[in-house]
Amino acid sequence: MTNHYIDLKNTDCALIIGSNAAENHPMSFKWLTEAREKRGAKIIHVDPRYTRTSALADIYAPLRSGTDIAFIGGLIKYVLDNELYHRDYVVNYTNATFLVNPEFGFDDGLFTGYNPQSRKYDTKSWAYQKNADGSYKRDMTMQDPNCVFQILKRHYSRYDVDTVCKITGTPKDVYLKVAETFCATGAPDKTGTIMYAMGTTQHTVGTENVRSYALLQLLLGNTGRPGGGVNALRGESNVQGSTDMALLQHILPGYLSSPVATEKHATLADYLKNETPASGYWTNKPKFMVSLLKAFWGPAATKENDFCYDYLPKKKPGVYYDHIGLFEAVYEGHIKGMFLWGQNPVVGGPDALKEAKAMENLDWLVAVDLWETESASFWKRPGANPADIKTEVFFLPAAASFEKEGSISNSGRWVQWRWKALEPKGDSKPDLWIIHNLYKKIAKLHEGSTDPKDKIITDLFWDYGNGEEPDIDKVAREINGYDFITGKQLPLFSKLKDDGTTCSGNWIYCGMYPEEGNLTKRRNTTDSGGMGNYLEWAWSWPANRRIIYNRCSADPNGQPWAEDKAAIWWDEAKGQWVGYDVPDFGKTKAPYAPGGQDAFIMRPEGVGCIYSARAEGPLPEHYEPWETPTKNILSSVDLNPAVKVWNTPMNAKGNSSRFPYVGTTYRVSEHWQTGGMTRNLPWLAELIPYMYAEIGEDLAAEKGIKNGQKIIVSSARGEIEVYALVTKRMKALEVNGKKVHQVGLPWCFGFSGIVTGATANNLTPHIGDANTNIPEYKAFLVDIRGVE
Amino acid sequence: MAKTLFIDTSKCMACRGCEVACKNWNDLAADIRPFNGSYQTKEGFATQTYTIVKMNEVEEADGIRWIFGKRQCMHCTEAACMMVCPKNAIQRSPEGAIYVDRDLCIGCGYCVQNCPFGVPKVDNNTHKMSKCDMCVSRIENGLTPACSKTCPTGAIQFGEREDMLRAAQVRLAQVRKRFPRATIYGNEEAGGTVLYILTEDPAVYGLPPHGTQVPWQVKFWQYLARPVGNVAVGASVLLLLVATWFNFVQKPPKETGAHVEGGVK
Amino acid sequence: MANKEPNIGIVKDGKVRRFTKAGIAAHWVHTVTFLTLLLTGLSIYVPATTWIGNLFGGIQNARIIHRVVAIPYALFALVLLLVGSRQQMKEWLKVAFTWKKEDFIFSAKYIVTEFMGRHGDLPEADFINSGEKVNSILTVGTLFTLTISGFVMWFPETFPKWAVRLAYPIHDLSWLFMTSMLLVHMYLSLIHPKMRTALKGMTTGWVDEEFAKSHYPKWYRRVTGKDA
Amino acid sequence: MRVSRRDFLKISGIAAGSLFVRELGFNLDAVEAKVPELKIASCKATPTICPYCSCGCGILIYTKSGKLIGSEGDPDHPINQGALCSKGSAVRQIHETDRRVTKPLYRAPGSDRWEEKSWDWMLERIAERVKETRDATFVREENGIIVNRTDGIANLGGAALDNEEAYLLHKFARALGITYLEHQARI
Q: Report pLDDT digits (tens) over D126-174.
A: 999 999 999 999 999 999 999 999 999 999 999 999 999 999 999 999 9
Distance CA B90, CA B171 (A): 33
Closest by Cβ to D85, choosing from A26, A261, A394: A26
For A249, the closest chain D residue by CA position comes to D181
**Mean pLDDT of all residues in A197-213:** 97
C-alpha B213, offset from chain centre: 11
In this structure, which CATH number among 3.40.228.10, 3.40.50.2300, 3.40.50.11540, 3.40.190.290 belongs to the domain A1-94+149-235+544-612? 3.40.228.10
Residue B113 carries which side chain, given as an amino acid letter?
Answer: Q
Among D5, D16, D31, beta carbon nearest to B234:
D16
Interface membership of D14 toward C (CB under 8 Å): yes
Percent over 70 (pLDDT), chain D: 82
Cross-chain CB nearest to B154 (options A30, A58, A723): A30
Query: What value, to the nearest 5°, has the Cα angle with vertex D4 and ends D3 and D6?
Result: 120
Give the closest-approach CA distance of A780 to chain D in angstroms.
16
Confidence (pLDDT) at B258: 44
> Which pLDDT score is estimated for A437?
97
Taking an 8 Å cut-off on Cβ atoms, the answer to whether C120 and B259 are in contact is yes
Beta strands in A715-769 (DSSP E): 719-727, 733-735, 738-740, 742-746
* Nearest CB to D31 within list C47, C176, C183: C47
The strand pair at D145-156 and D178-182 is best described as parallel
Residues A206, A745: Cα–Cα separation, whole Å: 20
The verdict on pTM exceeding 0.90 is: yes
Q: Are the CB atoms for A285 and A276 separated by under 8 Å?
A: yes
Give the number of other Cβ atoms within 10 Å of residue A468's Cβ: 11
Q: D105-137, pLDDT tens digit by residue? A: 999 999 999 999 999 999 999 999 999 999 999
Do C and A make contact, counting contact as 3+ CB pairs within 8 angstroms? no
| Phi, psi torsion values for A614, nearest 5 degrees | -130, 175
Q: Where are the domains of chain D?
A: 118-186
CA A111 to chain centre: 25
Q: What is the 3-state secondary structure (H, E, C) of A294-313?
A: HHHHHHHCCCCCHHHHHHCC
Return contacts of A553-557, CB within 8 angstroms, 24+ apart. Answer: A553/A224, A553/A225, A553/A226, A553/A579, A554/A591, A555/A88, A555/A188, A556/A88, A556/A92, A556/A591, A556/A596, A556/A597, A557/A591, A557/A592
pLDDT score at A201? 97
pLDDT at D1: 40
Of A30, A686, A725, the CB nearest to B31: A686
Mean pLDDT value across residues C52-57 = 93
Count of other CB atoms within 10 angstroms of residue A209: 25
CATH code given to domain A661-786: 2.40.40.20
In this structure, the strands spanning B195-198 and B3-8 are: parallel
Site from A9, A16, A24, A33 to mutate, B interface, most B CB atoms within 10 angstroms:
A33
CA distance A394 to D118: 11
- What is the C-alpha separation between C32 and C34, in angstroms, rounded? 6
User: What pLDDT sits at residue D27?
Assistant: 44
| Residue C107 pLDDT | 87
Nearest residue to A694 (alpha-carbon basis) of A656, A739, A670, A663: A663
With CB atoms and an 8 Å threshold, state whether D57 touches A27.
yes
pLDDT confidence of B61, banded at 50, 70, 90? Answer: confident
Alpha-carbon span B173 to A37, nearest angstrom: 12
pLDDT score of A594: 93
Cβ <8 Å between A26 and B15: yes
- Alpha-carbon gap, residue A305 to A310, rounded angstroms: 8
Task: State the DSSP code for D32.
Answer: P
Q: Which residue of C has its CA nearest to D30?
A: C47
The CA distance from B183 to the nearest CA of chain A, in Å, is: 18
* Residues near C76 by beta carbon (within 8 Å), at least 6 away in sequence: C26, C29, C30, C33
To 5 degrees, how large is the angle CA C93–CA C99–CA C103?
Answer: 115
On whether any CB of chain C is under 8 Å from the CB of D119, the answer is no
Q: Tell which residue, D182, D176, D160, D106, has the closest CA to residue A355.
A: D182
With CA atoms as reference, the chain D residue closest to C48 would be D28
Q: Do A50 and B152 touch (CB under 8 A)?
A: no
B3-78+130-214 CATH, one of 3.40.630.30, 3.30.70.20, 2.130.10.10, 3.40.50.150 = 3.30.70.20
The partner residues of C15 in beta bridges, in order of sequence, read: C12, C208
How far is the C-alpha of A661 from the C-alpha of A733, rounded, in Å?
A: 11
Contact by Cβ (8 Å): A321, A620: no
Beta-bridge partner residues of A17: A46
The amino acid at A143: Q
Res A504: pLDDT = 98
| Ramachandran angles phi, psi of B220, nearest 5° | -60, -40
Flag whether residue D19 sits within 8 Å of chain B, measured between CB atoms: yes
CB within 8 Å: B240 and C187: yes
Contact predicate B218/B83, CB 8 Å: yes
- What are the start-end ranges of the E strands in chain C? 11-12, 15-17, 206-208
Chain A: residue whose CA lies nearest to B175: A37
Cross-chain Cβ contact A392/D161 below 8 Å: no
Q: Which helix (H) or strand (E) holds A692?
A: strand A692-696
Query: B residues 80-119 near C, CB within 8 Å?
Result: 84, 86-88, 104, 106-110, 112-114
Reference C25, options C99, C96, C78; nearest CA is C78
pLDDT over 60 (residue C75): yes
Phi, psi torsion values for D71, nearest 5 degrees: -145, 140
CA angle A56, A61, A66 (to 5 degrees): 120
Cβ separation of A723 and B30 shorter than 8 Å? no
Q: Tens of pLDDT along C2-30?
A: 445 668 888 888 899 999 888 899 999 99
For the stretch A387-398, pLDDT in tens is 999 999 999 999
Q: Which strand ranges, in their side-by-side order, compose the sheet holding A13-17? A: A59-62, A42-47, A13-17, A192-196, A230-232
Q: Spell out which residues of chain D touch residue B137, defining contact as CB-CB under 8 Å.
A: 35-39
Report the alpha-carbon distance of residue D33 to residue B137 in Å, rounded: 13
CA angle A120, A122, A128 (to 5 degrees): 135
B243 CB burial (10 A radius; 0-12, 13-18, 19+): buried
Q: Which chain D residues have a beta carbon less than 8 Å from that of C51? A: 26
Quick check: D16 pLDDT over 80?
no
pLDDT at D20 over 80: no
Rounded distance, CA B226 to CA B222, Å? 6
Distance CA C61, CA C36 (A): 12
The predicted model gives B108-132 an average pLDDT of 96
Per 3-state DSSP, chain C is made up of helix, strand and coil in percentages (nearest 5) of: 75, 5, 25
- Whether A763 has a pLDDT exceeding 90, the answer reads yes
Q: Are D114 and A280 in contact (CB under 8 A)?
A: no
Looking at the DSSP assignment, which residues form a beta bridge with residue B166? none
Nearest to A261 among D54, D66, D142 (CB): D142
Which chains sit next to A, with 3 or more Cβ pairs under 8 A? B, D
Q: How far apart are the first and last CA of chain D?
A: 68
pLDDT exceeds cutoff 70 at A592? yes
For the stretch A144-192, pLDDT in tens is 999 999 999 999 999 999 999 999 999 999 999 999 999 999 999 999 9
Are the beta carbons of A538 and A522 closer than 8 angstroms? yes
Smallest CA–CA distance, residue C132 to chain D, in Å, is: 23
Close Cβ partners of D179 (under 8 Å, ≥ 6 residues apart): A249, A258, A313, A314, A315, A316, A321, D149, D150, D151
Q: How far lies A690's CA from each of A38, A462, B21, B35, D88, in Å?
A: 39, 46, 22, 7, 21
Per-residue pLDDT of A446-494, as tens digits, reads 999 999 999 999 999 999 987 899 999 999 999 999 999 999 999 999 9
Identify the closest residue of chain B to C64 by CA–CA distance.
B108
Please, which chains are in contact with C (at least 3 CB pairs closer than 8 A)? Answer: B, D
Highest averaged pLDDT of the listed ranges A3-17, C96-110, D5-19: A3-17
pLDDT at position D8, please?
Answer: 52
Residues 86-105 of D with CB under 8 A from B: 86-90, 92
B59/A728 touch (CB, cutoff 8 Å), yes or no: yes
Q: Which of A124-138, A566-580, B8-22, B242-256 has the lowest mean pLDDT?
A: B242-256
Average pLDDT in the A549-561 region?
Answer: 96
Q: Which residues of D touch C48 (CB under 8 A)?
A: 21, 26-28
Query: Residue B261: pLDDT above 60?
Result: no
CA–CA dist C53, C58 (Å, integer): 5
Interface of A with B in 18-47 (CB under 8 A): 22-23, 26-27, 29-30, 33-34, 37
Task: Give the number of other CB atoms < 10 A from CB of residue D25.
Answer: 6
> Which residue ranges form the domains of chain C, and what is each CATH number?
18-84 (no CATH), 86-228 (1.20.950.20)
Per residue in C150-199, pLDDT (tens digit) is 999 999 999 999 999 999 999 999 999 999 999 999 999 998 888 888 88
